[in-house]
């Protein structure tokens, strides 16, 4: 019996207990203790105490709105214009964006004060709906390569290189909202030292197609390819690519499973050089692939040196073309 049931039971027997004689009270008390599990002394205090009234539902006290809709609209616009940074970075860059906000929105001083006052935690809460709306991604495209995994070393230390040539690579899928059938991918390669980025379109994720696209990138780089660091996907962790790297004297390493921070450089370029240009649409033919579409032709013009917010060094260049597949 729950607390509500015990209280209703007490209200039902209270008057009967009050009018009963000594022997009848003893029977009622024994029955009350057996049904509710109360201690005898506590039950006597309840039955001899004040009349139990019907419990009132407590009023829910709601806190007033701390931030105006105008403040949240400006916050959402800044978050989108800044490239969707996480809340702690958004909090740090808001003071730097105040001149832009003042020119674009002409906000009142109290709105500026609210923008500077809002905490990162509140930003996460207020932007939750917008984040859900924009999250058109389907995860789980990377299929791990198990057999060769232990033959390729894991690289978790910092990239502290003084010469170009050591790169991070990744495959970005263009499956749209469905993962069925064969669809295009973008092979993305970025150099750690110079931030030079090269991209090639590949139909499917076959080992040979990925290796051919990587070989084409290696021949067009303005420096020698010295190292390739990838995730644990089977398109990279295979004997075909391992043999090619050994033949070219290229260091092949991998990150830890499910640790995207190990490949932070290429994850950043996946956003700035692929997703921001091609979004999450589906491409599943050679004619409509990311290397052939009008959307990509516009991207090729825009994909010159793209300085990113996380890296203040200017990349030497970036290209987006179609690979052989």
What whole-number distance in Å separates Cα of residue 248 and Cα of residue 28? 93
What whole-number distance in Å separates Cα of residue 239 and Cα of residue 242? 5
* Among 44-48, 62-66, 152-156, 287-291, the range of highest mean pLDDT: 44-48
Question: How many CA atoms are closer than 13 Å to the CA of 111, on its beta-carbon side?
Answer: 15
pLDDT for the residue numbered 218: 93
Higher pLDDT, 306 or 126: 126
pLDDT for the residue numbered 130: 83
> Of the ranges 156-160, 161-165, 238-242, 290-294, which one carries the lowest mean pLDDT score?
290-294
Mean pLDDT of 229-234: 86
Regarding pTM above 0.75, the answer is no
pLDDT for the residue numbered 301: 37
pLDDT for the residue numbered 210: 92
- Among residues 141, 111, 83, the alpha carbon closest in space to that of 272 is found at 83
pLDDT for the residue numbered 65: 66
pLDDT of 324 above 80 = no
pLDDT of 312 above 50 = no
Mean pLDDT of 139-164: 64
pLDDT of 6 above 80 = yes
pLDDT in tens, 120-144: 999 998 888 888 776 655 444 555 5
pLDDT grade for 185, boundaries at 50, 70 and 90 = very high
pLDDT for the residue numbered 139: 47
pLDDT for the residue numbered 156: 56
pLDDT for the residue numbered 320: 38
| Residue 131, number of CB atoms within 10 A of its CB | 11
Mean pLDDT of 161-175: 90
pLDDT of 145 above 60 = no
Helix H or strand E segment including 36: helix 22-36
Higher pLDDT, 90 or 57: 90
pLDDT for the residue numbered 189: 95
Helix-, strand-, coil-residue percentages of the chain, each rounded to 5: 45, 15, 40
pLDDT for the residue numbered 322: 42
Q: Which residues contact 61 (CB under 8 A, 6 or more apart)?
A: none
Share the mean pLDDT of the chain.
79
What whole-number distance in Å separates Cα of residue 128 and Cα of residue 164? 40
> Of the ranges 25-34, 76-85, 143-152, 227-236, which one carries the lowest mean pLDDT score?
143-152
pLDDT in tens, 30-62: 988 988 888 989 988 888 888 887 655 666 666
Contact 229, 253 (CB under 8 A): yes
Contact 91, 119 (CB under 8 A): yes
Helix H or strand E segment including 111: helix 109-117
Mean pLDDT of 233-241: 86
pLDDT grade for 248, boundaries at 50, 70 and 90 = very high
Q: How far apart are the first and last CA of the chain?
A: 70
What whole-number distance in Å separates Cα of residue 51 and Cα of residue 14? 7
- Among residues 214, 216, 246, the alpha carbon closest in space to that of 230 is found at 214
Higher pLDDT, 293 or 245: 245
């Amino acid at each position: 019996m729950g607390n509500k049931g015990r209280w209703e039971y007490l209200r039902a027997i209270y008057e009967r207990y009050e009018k009963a004689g000594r022997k009848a009270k003893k029977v009622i008390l024994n029955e009350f203790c057996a049904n509710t599990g109360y201690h005898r002394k506590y039950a006597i205090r309840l039955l001899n105490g004040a009349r139990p009234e019907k419990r009132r539902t407590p009023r829910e006290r709601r806190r007033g709105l701390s931030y105006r809709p105008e403040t949240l609209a400006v916050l959402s616009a800044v978050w989108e214009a800044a490239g969707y940074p996480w809340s702690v970075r958004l909090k740090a860059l808001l003071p730097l964006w105040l001149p832009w906000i003042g020119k674009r929105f002409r906000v009142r001083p109290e709105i500026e004060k609210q923008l500077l006052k809002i905490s990162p935690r509140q930003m996460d809460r207020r932007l939750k709906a917008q984040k859900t709306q924009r999250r058109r991604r389907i995860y789980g495209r990377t299929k791990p390569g198990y057999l060769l995994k232990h033959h390729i070393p894991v690289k978790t230390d910092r990239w502290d290189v003084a010469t170009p040539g050591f790169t991070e690579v990744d495959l970005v899928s263009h499956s749209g909202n469905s993962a069925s059938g064969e669809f295009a991918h973008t092979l993305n390669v970025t150099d750690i030292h110079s931030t030079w980025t090269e991209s090639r379109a590949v139909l499917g994720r076959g080992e040979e197609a990925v290796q051919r696209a990587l070989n084409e990138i290696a021949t067009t780089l303005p420096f020698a390819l010295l190292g390739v660091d990838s995730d644990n996907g089977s398109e990279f962790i295979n004997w075909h690519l391992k043999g090619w790297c050994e033949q070219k004297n290229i260091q092949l390493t991998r990150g830890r499973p499910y640790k995207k921070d190990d490949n932070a450089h290429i994850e950043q370029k996946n956003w700035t050089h692929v997703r921001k240009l091609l979004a999450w649409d589906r491409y599943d033919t050679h004619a409509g692939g990311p290397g052939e579409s009008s959307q990509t032709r516009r991207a090729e013009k825009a994909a010159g040196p793209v300085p990113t917010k996380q890296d203040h060094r200017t990349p030497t260049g970036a290209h987006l073309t179609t690979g052989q597949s």
